[in-house]
C-alpha cells in the first residue's frame, strides 16, 4: 500500500494496480457510497482507477465580523465575486507596523486562486496544454497585485514576518481563505476574541470553478504480495468503515458519503459547522501545481512574486516567465 494524491496526475501509474475491477466484483454503486465527486480525480483518462479516496479539503472565506462592523463594511455573502473582495479589503487599510490592519491575509493558496478568480485555467482538461498565458489569468494576477499594492494584503516578504494565522486571530486582518484542515486551529486560537463567520468562496463569473481542492488517498502497488488484504484495507479507507471515516472527519471531508453528509457536516468549530465545505466541493479544482507539475508551479511562483512583490502587471509577468513555465510543463508531460 502507498498513500497517494490524485494531483500527481498519473506520474506513478505504472506502479499502481487498477482498482476498477475490484469495485465491479464487489458490485459497488459508487454514487451511493462515495462522497460526491471524490472518486473522480483518481481515474485516469483510459478508465483506470488508481486509488481510493481518504479525504479532501477545500476552502471557505472566513471573516472577522467585529472588524467589518468597526470599519462599516457589509459582511461577505455567497454572491460576492473577487471584485467584491478587493473592494471590501481596501477599506480595512489603516495604521503602520504592528498596528497595521489588512483586508485579507496572504495565504499560501492565494496564487492558485489568482489563476481561477477571473475565469482562468492553468491547463487544458486533458493536461496536454498549459493555458496560463490568457487575459483571464493576467486579470486574476492584477486583482491580487492591486490588493498588495494598496496595502489591503501583505506581500510575500511582509507575510514572512506576519504569519497569516496571527494576523487573523489578533484582529489585524478582516478575511482569511480558510482550509478545512486548519479550521479547528483557527477556531481555537480566535476563541472569544471576536465574532466571526464564514461564507463559501467568491463566485467566478462564467465559470463553475471557484475553489481549490487538496486530496489524499491510498493506492495498491502492482507488486503487492497479498492483494486481497490490500483491497480489504482500501475498502475500509474508502467507503466501508464508518468508524474509521469519523476519525478522518476530524481533519477533512471523508470519502465515505454517509459520514460526510452526516457526522462530518455536523462538526462545529467555534461559530461554524462543516456544511460550507461540502458546498464548496462542487466548484473545486484539484491542487493546480501538485506532483508532476511542481516544477511548473515553481515558475508560477516567479510570476506571482513579479506581480505581488515587484509590482509588475499580470501580463508583463506572464510574458517574462511563461516560456520557462511552458517548458517545465511540457517536460512533465514528456511532450518536448
Q: Tell me, what's the pLDDT at 119?
A: 97
CA distance 292 to 315: 25
**Looking at 12-26, 155-169, 180-194, 318-332, which range is the least confident one?**
155-169
Report, as an integer, the average pLDDT of 147-155: 94
58 within 8 A of 179, measured Cβ to Cβ? yes
Q: Tell me, what's the pLDDT at 335?
A: 53
The 10s digit of each residue's pLDDT in 23-66 is 999 999 999 999 999 999 999 989 999 999 999 999 999 999 99
What global pTM score does this model have? 0.95
- Name the strand (E) or helix (H) holding 307: helix 294-308
The 10s digit of each residue's pLDDT in 286-330 is 999 988 899 999 999 999 999 999 999 999 999 999 999 999 999
**Nearest by Cα to 195 from 220, 218, 172, 171:** 171
State the chain's mean pLDDT as an integer: 94
Compare 134 and 160 and report the one with higher pLDDT: 134
331 within 8 A of 47, measured Cβ to Cβ? no
CA distance 233 to 90: 50
Number of Cβ within 10 Å of residue 251's Cβ equals 16
Query: 191 burial class (0-12, 13-18, 19+ CB within 10 angstroms)?
Result: exposed
Q: Tell me, what's the pLDDT at 297?
A: 96
Report, as an integer, the average pLDDT of 83-98: 95
The 10s digit of each residue's pLDDT in 231-263 is 999 999 999 999 999 999 999 999 999 999 999
The 10s digit of each residue's pLDDT in 105-143 is 999 999 999 999 999 999 998 888 999 999 999 999 999
Compare 164 and 177 and report the one with higher pLDDT: 177
DSSP letter for each residue of 179-244: EGGGHHHHHHHHTTSS-EEEEEPPB-TT-S--EEEEEEEEE-BTT-S-HHHHHHHHHIIIII-HHH
Q: Is the pLDDT of residue 334 over 90?
A: no
Q: Tell me, what's the pLDDT at 161?
A: 74
**Looking at 90-94, 123-127, 172-176, which range is the least confident one?**
123-127
pLDDT band at 336 (very low <50, low <70, confident <90, very high): very low
Amino acid at each position: 500500500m502507498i498513500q497517494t494524491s490524485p494531483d500527481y496526475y498519473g506520474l506513478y501509474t505504472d506502479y499502481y494496480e487498477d482498482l476498477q475491477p475490484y469495485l465491479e466484483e464487489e458490485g459497488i454503486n459508487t454514487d451511493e457510497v462515495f462522497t460526491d465527486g471524490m472518486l473522480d480525480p483518481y481515474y485516469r483518462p483510459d478508465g483506470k482507477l488508481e486509488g481510493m479516496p481518504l479525504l479532501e479539503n477545500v476552502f471557505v472565506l472566513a471573516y472577522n465580523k467585529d472588524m467589518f462592523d468597526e470599519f462599516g463594511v457589509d459582511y461577505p455573502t455567497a454572491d460576492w465575486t473577487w471584485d467584491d473582495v478587493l473592494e471590501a479589503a481596501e477599506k480595512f487599510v489603516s495604521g503602520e507596523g504592528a498596528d497595521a490592519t489588512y483586508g485579507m491575509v496572504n495565504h499560501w493558496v492565494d496564487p492558485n486562486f489568482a489563476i481561477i478568480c477571473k475565469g482562468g485555467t492553468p491547463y487544458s482538461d486533458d493536461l496536454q496544454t498549459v493555458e496560463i498565458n490568457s487575459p483571464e489569468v493576467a486579470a486574476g494576477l492584477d486583482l491580487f497585485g492591486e490588493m498588495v499594492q494598496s496595502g489591503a494584503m501583505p506581500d510575500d516578504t511582509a507575510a514572512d514576518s506576519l504569519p497569516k494565522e496571527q494576523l487573523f486571530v489578533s484582529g489585524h486582518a478582516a478575511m482569511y481563505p480558510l482550509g478545512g484542515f486548519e479550521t479547528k486551529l483557527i477556531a481555537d486560537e480566535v476563541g472569544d476574541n471576536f465574532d466571526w463567520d464564514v461564507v463559501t468562496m467568491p463566485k467566478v463569473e462564467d465559470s463553475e470553478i471557484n475553489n481549490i481542492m487538496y486530496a489524499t488517498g491510498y493506492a495498491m502497488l502492482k507488486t503487492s504480495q497479498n492483494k486481497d488484504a490490500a483491497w480489504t484495507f482500501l475498502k475500509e479507507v474508502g467507503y466501508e468503515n464508518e468508524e474509521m471515516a469519523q476519525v478522518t472527519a476530524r481533519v477533512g471531508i471523508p470519502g465515505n458519503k454517509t459520514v460526510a453528509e452526516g457526522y462530518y457536516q455536523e462538526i462545529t468549530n467555534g461559530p461554524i459547522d462543516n456544511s460550507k465545505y461540502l458546498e464548496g466541493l462542487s466548484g473545486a479544482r484539484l491542487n493546480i501545481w501538485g506532483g508532476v507539475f511542481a516544477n511548473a508551479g515553481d515558475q508560477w511562483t516567479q510570476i506571482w512574486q513579479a506581480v505581488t512583490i515587484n509590482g509588475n502587471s499580470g501580463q508583463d509577468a506572464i510574458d517574462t516567465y511563461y516560456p520557462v513555465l511552458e517548458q517545465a510543463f511540457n517536460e512533465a508531460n514528456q511532450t518536448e
